[in-house]
Structure 1
Amino acid sequence: MSFFRSGSILRLVLLGYAAVAVPLMLGLIVAAAYVDQLARHSQVSVFHSANATQASRMLVEHVTALERTARQLHVLGDQGLLEVYESRRAQLHQTIDDLQGLRPAHREAIEGLRTREAEAYRQLSSGDAAQVRAAVEAFGQLNGAARAVLAESSQLIADSVAEMQRLADRTQSLLYWQIWGLIPAALLLGAFFATLIVRPLKRLSGAIRRLGDGDFSGPIAVQGPDDLRALGRHLEWMRQRVVALENQKVNFLRHMSHELKTPLTTIRESSQLLNEGVAGTLNDEQGEIVLVLQESSIRLQRLIEDLLDFSTLELDGPRLQSERVRLDRLVEEVCATHRLASRTHGLDIRCALVEVCAQADRDKLRCVLDNLLSNAVKYSPTGGRIDVSLQLADRGAVIDVRDQGPGIPPEERRGVFEAFFQGSARSNGPIKGTGLGLSIARECVQLHNGTLEVLDADQGAHFRVTLPNAWRDCSDAA
């Protein structure tokens, strides 16, 4: 197999073409040779049979003519007829010579005709009446022998036809065997070389598809012709390069997030101190400015935490710290953290929760809920309402988050969970999101074998989280 894997695709295609074409060409050559042999044999057989039959008929005519001349000589006694006999006798001997050349297998029987005729001629030449009479009577046997030669010549035609039929049947059988043998062999060889060509192309296509899907985990090794293996090496180099760039990006996001988090914490603490009146009592306008400062710092902190969560998932891989969690309490806690920002926009967050517990990672579920509520606050109009519900269904715990914002167009629903995706709807506030929140939320939900989906809604957006491993008895859950 290593021989077929070496070289280029062009060489492999040419080898496949030769492997398929050469046996077919050999089959055609053999078939042409057998057909030519059949044609030549038929031609020779027909020629010999026709000449032998014609010579046998002439032999019968000459013997008949000699018999007639002998009877005339016996009746008339004219010695001039003997000269006529001798002339016709010479023609008879010439015909006998031709027949011996055309039918060597019957040489003795034909030579017997010559001997009998020679005896009859001797008797005719003697001039004795009794011997002439005996010669005339001998011509009856001579004529019968000549007719027997004619009958054998006619049988020779039938034998030649039968021999040609046998040769034709053998040629036909050979052609059939060639057809039944060469065509499947050619198909098998064609399939073999097609597999040798198509298999590495499929592997190459699969490797390109994996790269397009963002799977850079496994090395790319393409076997096959040299040019495809070289292309595989180029793809592997590209994969390693993309992995290196991805690691650099994740490290950059992690370092940048940590660097931004420190001064942002200082801003939040300072604004909190101002809001508490540590630096003096604030008037209404100053208090409103401090609230805006607090809200903006909280939103910036969430953006930075999204970057941290995204970099952690990308670099460290998905990990769960599973424990028993009271989902209703967790949802209420997350809603409480968003009430400050919601009051700034005049929003009303309403929770309809039932007591439900689940085996889950508390921090990752908090991240999911925080991102969903943050988006709901961000896109809801002033004075709007956000509904959060929790219930236990057959398929597990179901968390619904609905808002009254512009909603998500159907054409954007498939891409809304992709990293860095920015929809067409505009948010309320000067700070634009990173497009990582829903992507991180979906990753966290999928780690719990759950689903995060966008549902149809009459107004606004409707997100639903389903967690399968949930129950109602929460006596031992935190």
Structure 2
Amino acid sequence: MLCPMSRPAAATIEHAHSSRARRGLIFRPRSITGLLLTSFGLVALPLIVAILFGVVYVDRLTDQSERLVLQGVEVTRYSKRLSTLLVGMERSARQYGVLQSAELIERFERQSRDFDEILNALGALQLDTLPDWNLDTLRRRTRDLADRLRARPTEVQSLIDEIGAMQRETDLITQQGNLFIDRELVRLQDTAADARFFLLLCVFALIPGAIALTALFVGVIARPLRQISSAVTRLGDGDFSQQIKVFAPTAELDALGARLDWMRRRLATLENEKQQFIRHMSHELKTPLASIREGAELLRDGTVGKLNASQADVAEILQQNSLELAKLIDNLLDFAAWQQQHAKLEYERFDLKALFEAIVARQRLTIEGKELDVVTPGETMDITADRDRMQLIVDNLLANAVKFAPTGSTVTLAAERMVSATTIMVSDQGPGVPEQERTAIFDAFYQGAHSQTHAKGALRGTGIGLSVVRECVHAHGGRIDVADAAGGGAQFRVEIPDRHAI
């Protein structure tokens, strides 16, 4: 097993020495810092002054922004928490007025203590817009409420009125917090404007020096940075086959290149392990599921004995949900394999009509269970694409349409040949897709507003079916969108460009 510390270090040293020997450089800084210090030694005194003032402005902006963000967020969060606690205290008081339970008094006192702790936290922020006397008044009133409820339980209504008054004071705390945020924001904007003006002066005063430094740095640093950027891009795209080499003016960048190459080898190993895990998971999940499906089908067909109506309904539910679970597993595996492997497409020419009919036949049980009428194209239409990916696209879109289509309605599969592309349309007569969800439904694991209520008691999906569809469509260079169908419901449109047009 690779040692994550020693192996990169050894590779770094070996790579650095071999690069130095290969190029035979006489002067070669050990680090980027050395190279930069050598260059910055030529910079005039005004640049140093500009840097110092820039640091002062940045530090000031940092302090003000931290105060604005940290304290502003805290005061908002605390004020909302105070309002929530007051609502809870009012609810506890009302319940105690009816039930006279000691447990409700204890809950009221716990809420009072939590309220007091939040007030202490607000006081610790030391906001000048939030006077301490206001917090002290609220603190005393809160403690008095707890004592009064225990001592005089008959005065619940007066306590509730007092809580309402405290709610108004809590709203005042929120306003004071907003006032603090507004004031700090103005101060931050003023400081930023001053810094921007000063930096503009520095830029226009030091343009000649900046041009000279740019000419120097472009030749010295640009090439290794481009090599590193290209290597990182390849790693991000999942290409681990090409060795990473960085030819740099410093040993530090050479070491970075060696570490990137170690990371490439490590990622390649992890990629292989992930693919092996996916294969094992497929076997482990599908093998017992096949037995469950077979057993459910035997029960449903009456092979092991005739079932009454209730038992037949249970067997039907078992079979339908096992089929749906198998499809969810296939979607998970397809999505994981697609994300990790980014396999290349294998183009071939095939008939879309035959593909539609085969997929409809695969989902026959679910379609017949909902008494749906599935309409497919009457004429053949050839397309050049990856058959497996196209099957995933149509299979998931049809399953989605069947899932949301009302019982006894119509689902339509259609295809249209355009100038440089083929358009596939899958329509249903279900609830449709709200406009605000028409982009998000293609994100992995997103559950739409209708996904939880479309079929009460049915197996809930994983939210990746449409994500797999989008990945497959984009791999073909196409696009997918969803709109309202002509007769109500949703219509998914997939546009697959001709291969020569990609």
TM class by shorter chain equals: 0.5 to 0.7
CA distance in 1, matches of 2:459, 2:245: 45
The equivalent of 1:192 in structure 2 is: 216
Aligned positions of 1:225-264 closer than 5 A? 225-264=250-289
CA distance in 1, matches of 2:279, 2:346: 21
CA distance in 1, matches of 2:442, 2:238: 15
Asked if structure 2 preserves the Cα contact closer than 8 Å seen for 1:347 and 1:382, the reply is: yes
In the superposition, relative to structure 1, how do residues 212 and 14 fare at CA in structure 2: closer, same or farther (>3 Å)? Answer: same
1:349 aligns with 2:374: yes
Asked if structure 2 preserves the Cα contact closer than 8 Å seen for 1:19 and 1:189, the reply is: no
Q: What secondary structure does 1:456 align onto? A: strand
1:453 aligns with 2:488: no
Superposed CA offset, 1:296-328 (max 9, x none): 111122123234444655677635665542211
CA distance in 1, matches of 2:34, 2:371: 74
Superposed CA offset, 1:124-148 (max 9, x none): xxxxxxxxxxxxxxxxxxxxxxxxx
In the superposition, relative to structure 1, how do residues 197 and 293 fare at CA in structure 2: closer, same or farther (>3 Å)? Answer: same
CA distance in 2, matches of 1:415, 1:241: 34
1:437 aligns with 2:460: no
CA distance in 1, matches of 2:372, 2:410: 6
Aligned positions of 1:44-63 closer than 5 A? none
The equivalent of 1:465 in structure 2 is: 494
Counterpart of 2:311 (choices 286, 292, 314) is 286
Q: What secondary structure does 1:375 align onto? A: helix
Asked if structure 2 preserves the Cα contact closer than 8 Å seen for 1:264 and 1:297, the reply is: yes
Asked if structure 2 preserves the Cα contact closer than 8 Å seen for 1:346 and 1:383, the reply is: yes
Q: What secondary structure does 1:433 align onto? A: coil
Aligned positions of 1:1-400 closer than 5 A? 2=25, 6-18=29-41, 190-208=214-232, 211=235, 216=240, 218-224=242-248, 225-310=250-335, 313=338, 318=343, 323-345=348-370, 347-380=372-405, 385-400=410-425
Asked if structure 1 preserves the Cα contact closer than 8 Å seen for 2:224 and 2:247, the reply is: yes
Q: Partner letter of residue 386 of structure 1?
A: V
Report the identity percentage: 43
Count of aligned pairs between the two proteins? 308
The runs of 5 or more residues in structure 1 that have no matched partner are 22-182, 471-478
Asked if structure 1 preserves the Cα contact closer than 8 Å seen for 2:346 and 2:385, the reply is: yes
Q: Partner letter of residue 463 of structure 1?
A: F
CA RMSD of aligned residues (A): 3.9
Deviation at 1:291, TM superposition (A): 1.8
Q: What secondary structure does 1:391 align onto? A: strand
Q: Please, what TM-score do these two structures have when normalized by structure 2?
A: 0.51
In the superposition, relative to structure 1, how do residues 376 and 6 fare at CA in structure 2: closer, same or farther (>3 Å)? Answer: farther
Q: Please, what TM-score do these two structures have when normalized by structure 1?
A: 0.53
Q: What secondary structure does 2:376 align onto? A: strand
In the superposition, relative to structure 1, how do residues 226 and 450 fare at CA in structure 2: closer, same or farther (>3 Å)? Answer: closer
The runs of 5 or more residues in structure 2 that have no matched partner are 1-22, 45-206
In the superposition, relative to structure 1, how do residues 18 and 247 fare at CA in structure 2: closer, same or farther (>3 Å)? Answer: same
Q: Partner letter of residue 230 of structure 1?
A: A
Deviation at 1:5, TM superposition (A): 5.3
CA distance in 2, matches of 1:205, 1:361: 32
Superposed CA offset, 1:53-103 (max 9, x none): xxxxxxxxxxxxxxxxxxxxxxxxxxxxxxxxxxxxxxxxxxxxxxxxxxx
CA distance in 1, matches of 2:254, 2:415: 55
CA distance in 2, matches of 1:409, 1:215: 38
Q: Partner letter of residue 459 of structure 2?
A: I
